[in-house]
Amino acid sequence: AQTVTQSQPEMSVQEAETVTLSCTYDTSENNYYLFWYKQPPSRQMILVIRQEAYKQQNATENRFSVNFQKAAKSFSLKISDSQLGDTAMYFCAFMKYGAGKSTFGDGTTLTVKP
């Protein structure tokens, strides 16, 4: 079974600053995907970024980038130029290739302060 650990229950950052959210996972699988999801107060899950395990290059999506360390089973999210709208709960998630279902971490509540 897979486990996903987010060790930071809460974090805060000043607007326009950079923040990094941590995630580690445990799996015996070799082919899998990793995700970061954002859940704002509306509670709608929004996909932020995705990483395929077979790709060495770290994924980036505008202000969001990841640091994927496969050997260390680490998958952190960096948010640059933080905006007030980034305030949300962020979940790291693991999906075994082809499984469709995800295992989620406990989440990190991020507050961006003006």
Partner 1 sequence: GAVVSQHPSWVICKSGTSVKIECRSLDFQATTMFWYRQFPKQSLMLMATSNEGSKATYEQGVEKDKFLINHASLTLSTLTVTSAHPEDSSFYICSARNRGQTSYEQYFGPGTRLTVT
Write out the two tokens for 54: 């077979």
Which residues would be at the binding site for partner 1 (CB under 8 A)?
Answer: 33, 42-45, 50, 52, 89, 91, 95, 97-98, 100-107, 109
94 contact partners, CB below 8 Å, separation of at least 6: 2, 4, 25, 27, 32, 33, 34, 35, 102, 103
Report the residue number, 29 or 106, with the smaller CB distance to partner 1: 106
CB of 95 to partner 1, least distance (A): 6
CB of 28 to partner 1, least distance (A): 18
CB of 64 to partner 1, least distance (A): 17
CB of 34 to partner 1, least distance (A): 10
CA-to-CA dists, residue 85 to 10, 24, 39, 75, 113, angstroms: 16, 25, 11, 23, 10
Report the residue number, 6 or 82, with the smaller CB distance to partner 1: 6
What is residue 100's three-state secondary structure?
Answer: coil
